[in-house]
Chains A and B, each alone.
Chain A
Amino acid sequence: MKSTGSNSALTVEVTEGEGGMVVTLRGRLDAASLAGAWQKTVGEAEGKKAKAITIDGAGLDYCDGAGLGLFAELRRVAAENGGEVKFRGLNPELQRLVDMSLLADAKAGTLVPVKPWGIIVFTGMRAYEIWKDQYELVGFVGRLTAALCWAVAHPHKIRKRELLNIMEKTGVDALPVVSLLGLLIGVILAFQMAAPLERYGAQALIPLIVSFALIRELGPLVTAIIVAGRSGSAFAAELGTMKVTEELSALQTMGLEPAQFLVVPRVVATVLMAPLLTLYGIMLGLIGAGVVMVSLGYTVVFYINSVKDAIVLGDFLGGVFKSVVFALIVAGVGCLRGMQTKSGPGAVGDSTTRAVVSGIVLVIVADALIGVVFFYMGI
């Protein structure tokens, strides 16, 4: 309906007649005048339990969506009371708008607000989601294992350029942050130990403790956390975007298995690069601790000899083994979360967050399990 440009105020009259309630509207019915009209008409219709309501709109100069909302509400109230609304005197344009806006069923379910879940439904739904997530995780582990076996049997089928590209992003590009964190962790560990060990005259043990902690625990763990933050999240975002833009569907319709085509290069690249990053991080950590030892008055030769004596092959291999397991987890979970991406603009962000959180949690759980196993194996 065209605006007449009139600024006439709205007048609302509610009278009895025509076997029910007659609402006569004159002037301009818009958002500004809606509140008063709503209270008067809907309030009265509800109070009187009006069945038949006639809306006389012959005197309306202007009526927009606010008016359509009022008409719908009056129609709903009448329907609740077992009656209906009739319109009278609407100009043809407004009549068409009203016809287009009114629901087929005046009491339709869409008018009933959705109730939030109760505690029992919420608990059940959450439990179901967790179960479903575990179910998908197990299925994914199976598919990933099959895809990795396929990759071992057909190494020439892995897309080399993509593999090298991912290795560069996961490994080479991570060097600055691994360098910084490795060095600082070595410095922090050595400094933190210096004061308490001095009390027992045992500062000479710092190289042993730092080496042990870095090689067996902190090196693989900190590197895995960095890889989860950098690469796990990137994998989830890449695959999530591919899912949203239907690229995963396109792969499937070409008869290509996303696990083989997309997940294998990412997992293989991470498994190849994570141990190297771990060793590099450990080396930087030992250098950091060495700087502290020299500042405490020990010679470089003493420090190097102490470290050489402290490192046992079993510890070293244990650390490398952990870094391989952590890489599998971080890359695999990143890809899984990416492929689980739902639709909508926020979905990729959610997948990225879930990739980092579940990657780190699973790495720490795996670390604990490996620690227990190593303990009983005497490694």
Chain B
Amino acid sequence: MSEKQRVTSDDAIIEVRNFRAAYSGKTVVENLNFAVRRGEIFVIAGGSGCGKSTVLKHLIGLYEPAEGTIHVEGIDVAAAEGEERRRLLRKFGVAFQSGALFGNMSVLENVRLPMEEFTALSNQQMDMIAIAKLKMVNLEGAAQKLPSELSGGMQKRAAIARAMALDPEFVFLDEPSAGLDPITSADVDQLIVDLNGLLGMTFVVVTHELASIFKIADRVLVLDAAVKTMVGLDEPEKLRDSSPNPWVRSFFKREPSAAKAPGAAPEKRKSA
């Protein structure tokens, strides 16, 4: 499937309202209001330390927002408990920045695990599905290896295969191509585009790799550490060419920050 010819609907499937995240009372990011549409690849971008991964971890219900709400398919992620929470989480596939593969299990067992816990498939069925998922990320040859025997790129791809294990409706990826060589990175990007096109999965991807963003993103939410909130939300090309915020344009054009007058305070950036 050619890139960016995917069908997305306008219904907001993930809705974030008046969101504020804080660690130990210190605000990391605030005043976030955005919605992710069903079937789109939604990228959260921004400089280092702007709270991209923090937002992602709130979206998947690992942390509770300090303020505001996050609704996925109308369910408040932070407030959901018991069976409702489990049902919601089963629709999620998450690949963490570090891969977070279980070190005492082989790659195949890692991919099988969600199926073992949540399906009544036979061992043979689970093995065949897991190997198919591993083939999708070109890791079928490493099925019996332990995560410690894999390179960083292979671990990330294995984590993506595990995130896909239950064919989730929502896939959350934290820096899937960071630290990978250009070819592997492009492979991961292509995989995201293909899975989104073929299976209609909704992707939320945290990254600051510009090449990835332009390749995969339908829309990009840009966060800025200086103002601790969002400074742009649109298609990446539009943000690059016509964002009212000069920092956002510089971000997408990979330009150095604008020179300041000697000794002057830097211009306070405006939020979106």
Chain A residues within 8 Å of B, Cβ to Cβ: 75, 84-87, 90, 95-96, 98-99, 102, 104-105, 162, 165, 241-242, 245-247, 249-250, 252-256
Contacts and interface: CB of A to CB of B under 8 A. Distances in A.
Contacts of B98: 245-246
7 contacts: A162-B104, A245-B98, A246-B96, A246-B100, A247-B101, A249-B94, A254-B113
A86 B261 CA distance: 10
Contact of A250 (B94, B104, B117): B94
B57 interface: yes
Given A254-B89, A254-B117, A255-B86, A249 B100 contact: yes
Contacts of B172: 253
Nearest to A103: B265
Identify the 10 closest CB pairs spanning chains A and B, nearest first.
Answer: A255-B89, A246-B100, A250-B100, A104-B265, A253-B94, A246-B96, A87-B262, A255-B86, A99-B260, A247-B100
Contacts of B57: 249
B90 interface: yes
Contacts of B261: 99
Interface string B232-272: 00000000000000000000000000011111011000000
Contacts of A241: 103
A299 B61 CA distance: 70
B263 A86 contact: yes
B190 interface: no
A86 B263 CA distance: 7
B89 A253 contact: yes
A68 to B, nearest CB: 12
Given A86-B263, A247-B100, 17 more contacts: A84-B263, A87-B263, A98-B262, A99-B259, A99-B261, A102-B263, A162-B104, A165-B104, A245-B98, A246-B96, A246-B97, A249-B100, A253-B62, A253-B89, A254-B113, A255-B85, A255-B117
Interface string B34-68: 00000000000000000000000100111000000
A249 B117 contact: no
B214 interface: no
A68 B262 CA distance: 13
A104 B266 CA distance: 6
Contacts of B103: 241-242, 245, 247
B91 to A, nearest CB: 10
A250 B62 CA distance: 9
A256 B263 contact: no
B53 to A, nearest CB: 10
A238 B60 CA distance: 24
B144 to A, nearest CB: 15
B173 to A, nearest CB: 12
Interface in B95-153: 96-104, 113-114, 117-118
B101 A85 contact: no
A117 to B, nearest CB: 15
A242 B100 CA distance: 8
B106 to A, nearest CB: 12
Contacts of A102: 263
Contacts of B263: 75, 84-87, 98, 102
A249 B62 contact: yes
A356 B262 CA distance: 56
Q: Which of B98, B100, B103 has the most CB of A within 10 A?
A: B100
Given A162-B104, A256-B117, A95 B262 contact: yes
B101 A253 contact: no
A162 B220 CA distance: 43
A255 B90 contact: yes
A254 B85 CA distance: 11
Contacts of A104: 265-266
Contacts of B96: 246, 249-250
A98 B113 CA distance: 54
B262 to A, nearest CB: 5
Given A246-B96, A247-B101, A249-B62, A105 B265 contact: yes
